[in-house]
Amino acid sequence: MSSQDTRSLWADAFSRLVKDRWALISLLVVVTYALVALMATLGIGMPDWRSSLGIEYLAPSGEFWFGTDLFGRDVFAKVIHGTKIAMSVGLITSLIAIPIGVVIGALAGYFGGWVDDIISWFITTFSSIPNIMLLISITLIMGKGLLSVYLALGMTGWVGLARLIRGEVMKHKEREYVQAASALGGGHYRKLFVHILPNVTHLVIINTSLQFQTAIKSEVILSYLGLGVQGEPSWGTMIDDARMELARGVWWQLAGATLAMFIIVLAFNILGDALRDALDPKLKGK
């Protein structure tokens, strides 16, 4: 370490991350998907999936990269729209699940005692119900549609994160730097938010990258079962459509949706692993 330049653990982690070639590629993939989804949402420069541009079931060609469907619509355009749906599900469910998970986990881990008893009971009960059953019942109660998918996934996605944060906060609470903060007269707010939480944030980031792809997969399953997205294409509904088409040798709708999903899920997995390696502060300090 040279005497002049100084680096925070975050800067250190970032430079470790970009040194990993696969992590960098995965990061680029994720950014590309996010850009596509953003542009599709804003309606800029993305192909139109609504109108019939050709005849039914055209095989992939220069004009229609992924062919056309029953109504002669461009499958590539549908994949793009599916990307928008998938990314929005990932983003919104993370935005719902992460604050719940962090707050609940941190409260349980920090205060312990009866607070922890109640929250732990709640977490255990919640996670003992099979996830897909819970998702289906929530969408059945609230009605089908994208909104239900957001809420259902958001409300079930926090459990793992809460448990992780709870354990980590418990560990850090006993560290001497937190005790030093008490000795200096710092209150609960300062200890929890200024000292402990910044030291567990890396777990939130790692968890988000895995949460994101779980949400994408769950949306596909829900839509495939007909409980999810209604009246617009998503990867799930496309795979559902493809059930009938496969018998007629029409494979491109299935291939397009699966490939799009495969790439983003793989990218998130690699990125999650790389983030864990880059952010793990256990490697630092000694």
Partner 1 sequence: MLFATLLIQNSKGSDMESPLLSIKNLTVDFKTTDSEMRAVDNISFDVPMGKTVGIVGESGSGKSVTSLAVMRLLPQPPAHITGEILFQGKNLLGLPEDEMRKIRGNNISMIFQEPMTSLNPVFKTGAQVAETLMLHRGMDKKTAWEKTIDLFNEVGIPNPSQKVHAYPHEMSGGQKQRVMIAMAIACDPKLLICDEPTTALDVTIQKQVLELLAKLQQEHKMSMLFITHDLGVIADIADDVVVMYRSKMVEKDKTRSIFETSHHPYTKGLIACRPDLGANPKRLLTVSDFMDEEGKGLMVTRERIQVFEKDYAAKNSNEVLLEINDLHTHFPIKGGFLGRQVGEVKAVDGVSFKLQRGKTLGLVGESGCGKTTLGRSILRLVEPTSGQIIYNGQDITKLAAPDMRLLRRKMQIIFQDPYSSLNPRMTVGEILTEPLVVHGLGGSKREQLDAAKMLMEKVGMKANQLNRYPHEFSGGQRQRICIARALMLRPEFVICDESVSALDVSIQAQVLNLLLDLQEEFKLTYIFISHDLSVVNFIADEVGVMNKGKLVELDRADRIYKQPREDYTKTLLGAIPKGLPKNLESFINS
Binding residues for partner 1, rule: CB under 8 A, are 1, 6-10, 175-177, 179-187, 190, 194-195, 198-199, 281, 284-286
Enumerate residues 6+ apart whose C-beta is below 8 A from 203.
161, 164, 165, 168
**How many CA within 13 A on the CB side of residue 138?**
21
User: Smallest distance, Å, CB 111 to partner 1?
Assistant: 15
Nearer to partner 1, 1 or 133 (CB): 1
In this structure, are residues 234 and 82 in contact, taking their beta carbons and an 8 Å threshold?
yes
User: Smallest distance, Å, CB 106 to partner 1?
Assistant: 16
User: Smallest distance, Å, CB 64 to partner 1?
Assistant: 46
The per-type count for the chain, helices as H runs and strands as E runs, is 12, 0
Q: How far is the CA of 208 from the CAs of 87, 148, 205, 271, in angstroms?
A: 13, 20, 5, 11
Question: Whose structure tokens read 């491109």?
Answer: 252
Nearer to partner 1, 23 or 267 (CB): 23
In this structure, are residues 136 and 224 in contact, taking their beta carbons and an 8 Å threshold?
no
User: Smallest distance, Å, CB 173 to partner 1?
Assistant: 12
Nearer to partner 1, 248 or 284 (CB): 284
User: Smallest distance, Å, CB 194 to partner 1?
Assistant: 8
Enumerate residues 6+ apart whose C-beta is below 8 A from 234.
81, 82, 85, 86, 219, 220, 223, 228
In this structure, are residues 276 and 209 in contact, taking their beta carbons and an 8 Å threshold?
no
Task: Provide the β-strand partners of residue 202.
Answer: none
User: Smallest distance, Å, CB 168 to partner 1?
Assistant: 14
